[in-house]
Amino acid sequence: MKASATHIRISPRKVRPVVDTVRGKSVSQAMNILAFTRKKAALPVQKLLKSAVANAAENYGISDVDTLVIDHIMVDEGPTLKRFMPRARGRATPIRKRTSHIRIVLRERGTT
């Protein structure tokens, strides 16, 4: 029971604190935490968690969401978009627009 979101246009450094708050929690508790987290990264993580729950229901026939727990959730760095900004005296400075890959694995409570 897993789901992944790739090329999310937010830095992994900003996503990791949000992911750390829900790691190891039950799905219903994690949804509640993400709904009230005031960070931009909370929305993609919440959508990914809903997708993982839907995958569990569709592929494994699990209808009771309360038995699911977040087993693994990780954020890796994706490709960086490289741009340049013009500066004074004909110079240019690089701008790195970072992306994230988020992966989540759910398991049923009581199984290892």
Q: How many helices (H) and strands (E) does the chain have?
A: 3, 5
CA distance 79 to 40: 19
- For 74-111, what is each residue's pLDDT tens digit? 999 999 999 999 999 999 999 999 999 999 999 998 76
Cα distances (Å, whole numbers) of residue 15 to 9, 11, 28, 59, 63: 10, 7, 20, 28, 29
pLDDT for 27: 95
Question: With 70 as the cut, is the pLDDT of residue 112 above it?
Answer: no
The domain that holds 44 is classified in CATH as: 3.90.470.10
* Residue the block writes with tokens 């909370």: 42
pLDDT for 65: 86
Average pLDDT (16-44) is 96
Whether residue 4 contacts residue 104, with contact meaning beta carbons closer than 8 Å, is answered with yes
* Residue the block writes with tokens 């809903």: 50
Higher pLDDT, 11 or 61: 11
What residues pair up with 22 in beta bridges, in sequence order?
Answer: none
Q: How many domains is the chain built from?
A: 1
Domain membership of residue 57 as a residue range: 2-108
List the structure tokens of 103.
């992966």
Mean pLDDT of the chain: 95
